[in-house]
């Protein structure tokens, strides 16, 4: 016979019968390493926001190439203005190809869309006003390249973007010179 009254017995362990085989664990396992890029990390895959920004540039260049082809084709083959637009159009097309290949090489999915710039430009009356709008679009591209450059660690991609930036600055000047000379032809 005991001298002490027995305290009510609590079960020695929690009821484990419901999950006898699951080892104790403070948090679920992390599978992030199996999905590079999923959480936006840059070490193992492309940063989604950088790819999005490069795709916005790709769509803008594709639109620029298309609208400049339309404006070029509306001019007489002997027009000096046509020769300038021809050069600008080739640059835009080459930029679109370079961006497409770069996005793919970085592991991103390249857009197949064309920016709304084509319709916006063609909604404007007159070649001079359209080219002024093209130049505004080109200046937008320069700003967007400058914004994305610090996000791009790949040196080849950075060099491509820097060339694209410089060619835009040159083409803005060429288009501006056309507008200053007047567009009678």
CA atoms of 137 and 143, how far apart (whole Å): 10
Both tokens of 19, joined, read 């999950």
Burial (CB count <10 Å: 0-12, 13-18, 19+), residue 23: exposed
- Pick the closer one to Fe ion by CB: 44 or 52: 52
DSSP H helices, the chain, are 48-73, 80-105, 117-122, 127-148, 155-181
Smallest gap from Cβ 141 to Fe ion, in A, equals 5
Q: Please report, as ranges, the residues that interact with Fe ion according to CB under 5 A.
A: 64, 92, 141
- Pick the closer one to Fe ion by CB: 71 or 141: 141
Smallest gap from Cβ 117 to Fe ion, in A, equals 9
- Pick the closer one to Fe ion by CB: 33 or 173: 173
CA atoms of 63 and 113, how far apart (whole Å): 9
Q: Which residue is nearest to Fe ion (CB)?
A: 64
Smallest gap from Cβ 61 to Fe ion, in A, equals 5
Smallest gap from Cβ 39 to Fe ion, in A, equals 33
């Amino acid at each position: 016979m005991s001298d002490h009254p027995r305290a009510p017995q609590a079960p020695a362990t929690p009821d484990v019968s419901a999950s006898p085989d699951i080892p104790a664990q403070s948090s679920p396992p992390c599978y992030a390493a199996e999905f590079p890029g999923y959480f936006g990390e840059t070490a193992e895959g492309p940063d989604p926001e950088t790819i999005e920004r490069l795709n916005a540039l790709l769509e803008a260049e594709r639109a620029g190439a298309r609208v400049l082809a339309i404006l070029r084709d509306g001019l007489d083959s002997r027009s000096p203005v046509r020769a300038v637009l021809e050069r600008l159009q080739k640059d835009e097309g080459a930029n679109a190809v370079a961006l497409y290949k770069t996005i793919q090489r970085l592991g991103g999915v390249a857009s197949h869309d064309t920016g709304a710039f084509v319709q916006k430009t063609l909604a404007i009356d007159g070649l001079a006003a359209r080219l002024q709008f093209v130049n505004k679009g080109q200046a937008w591209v320069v700003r967007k390249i400058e914004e994305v450059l610090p996000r791009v660690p790949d040196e080849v991609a950075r060099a491509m973007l820097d060339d694209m930036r410089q060619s835009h600055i040159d083409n803005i000047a060429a288009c501006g010179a056309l507008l200053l000379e007047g567009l009678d032809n």
